[in-house]
Amino acid sequence: MRGKAVIAGIGHTAFGKQPGRSTVSLNIEACRNAVADAGIEKNAVDGLLVKVPTSKVEMMYGQKLAEAMGMSPRFGGVFDQGGASNISMIAIAAMAIEAGQCEVALVTLADNPRTGSRHAYEKVWGDDADFGWSSVVAGYAMIARRYMHDHGDVSDIHAAIAMACRKHGADNPHAQLRLPLTREMYDASPWVVGPLRRDDCCLVSDGAAAVVVMSADRAKDLGVKAPVPILGFGQGNSSIDVPLREDLTETQAGVSARTAFAMAGLAPKDIDVAQIYDCFTITVAMTLEAYGFAPKGKLAALVKEGGFEVGGALPLNTSGGLLSETGMPGLQLVLEGVRQMRGFSSNQVLDAETCIVSNQGGIMHTHSTLILGRQ
């Protein structure tokens, strides 16, 4: 499959607050921009895959969106793995195209928890609500506390991740939060659920992003100007709930990455730039280790080598990530991977030829990996 499918176009909305806009309308704006970017007509699209919004879960959302777009796609619907859905749907689109199920697919995500409902992030956890067990951030904090117990003080690593994302976000004119973060600001940041501080936590955002997926051959036929080849993809699902995970610091992210690396015929040393799902800083630290960029508990060495900013050992989240660009759950990271491979990021990594992108969902319940290359 390596290189057989491409991302032919990308599109997004403004990020931040979108009061009064439905997620259907946000999806349509992102799709309109993605199709225009690919330089194709709407009637060329015969696949439509969409992530269900966190702000409002409803049945048959994929068909609702297709109806609003005046489409009857051959292949389409919702695939739900939380934040991992985006990359998984790109992979599903690539496989569907290879299997002759459709020719050109839109993969799209819209959400509006900032002006709509944040229930998905703040809800109480079922029968354990009587203990005060609530919110997504607390699940990640449970993992972070155990990680710190096992690996010692990791505040330098968390700070380095947050500072790199915020620096890159400050350089991105589309970013929701364009305020660089100093170490002093990080250390003074208030606790939300200890051991996680406010600046360890991603933004809450309205907005949408979309990509157009097609075969490399089809892109040539249609005269697509800047197709970005998909070199590899993979996924892994821990699924087990956080309290019951035998080792709280182990996920299936490594399984996901190894599947993607095997398809691409690449290894971590071959990766020039990374877009790592940063709902919380701990997620980035654990993902980088699981991916093989550093042995477990040894990420500090990578920070010392110049860290995660452009020009460093491993530049990451070059558009600002969820911590700075937009807290939307994930597809925007793929868009930035495409910009890096096209050579037009606002934080361009010079001569970058490979980009790895991670998406994950729940509280590290799901994971999906994408490796992009240069045309």
Partner 1 sequence: MTAAPYDTYRAGLDAGRLTFQRCRACGEAWLPPREDCPHCWSADWGWEEASGKATVVSWVVYHAAFDKRFADRLPYNVAIVELDEGPRMITNIIEIPPDEDVIGRKAILAFERDHDRLLPRYRLDPS
Residues that bind partner 1 (CB under 8 A): 122-125, 127-135, 138, 141-143, 145-146, 149, 190-195, 242-244, 248
> Cα separation of 167 and 224, whole Å?
33
Q: How far is the CB of 242 from partner 1 (least distance, A)?
A: 8
Whose Cβ is closer to partner 1: residue 22's or residue 134's?
134
- Which residue, chain included where needed, has tokens 């499959």? 1
Q: How far is the CB of 248 from partner 1 (least distance, A)?
A: 6
Count of CA atoms in the C-beta half-sphere (13 A) of 295 = 2
Q: Which of 138, 153, 157, 167 is nearest to 289 (CA)?
A: 157
Whose Cβ is closer to partner 1: residue 42's or residue 123's?
123
Q: Which of 259, 261, 287, 286 is nearest to 275 (CA)?
A: 287
Q: How far is the CB of 151 from partner 1 (least distance, A)?
A: 12
The 3-state DSSP class for residue 124 equals strand
Q: 318 is written with which tokens?
A: 């070059």
Q: How far is the CB of 201 from partner 1 (least distance, A)?
A: 10
Angle at 338 between CA 52 and CA 333, to 5 degrees: 45
Identify the H or E element spanning 210. strand 207-215
Q: Is the CA virtual torsion 250, 256, 259, 265 positive or negative? A: negative
Q: How far is the CB of 126 from partner 1 (least distance, A)?
A: 8
Whose Cβ is closer to partner 1: residue 122's or residue 171's?
122
Q: How far is the CB of 134 from partner 1 (least distance, A)?
A: 4
Whose Cβ is closer to partner 1: residue 62's or residue 195's?
195
DSSP state, residue 7: E
Amino acid symbol at 73: P
* Backbone region of residue 279 per phi and psi (left: phi > 0; alpha: psi in -120 to 50; beta: other values): alpha
Q: How far is the CB of 327 from partner 1 (least distance, A)?
A: 16
Whose Cβ is closer to partner 1: residue 120's or residue 313's?
120
Q: 92 is written with which tokens?
A: 């599903």
Whose Cβ is closer to partner 1: residue 22's or residue 135's?
135
Whose Cβ is closer to partner 1: residue 221's or residue 241's?
241
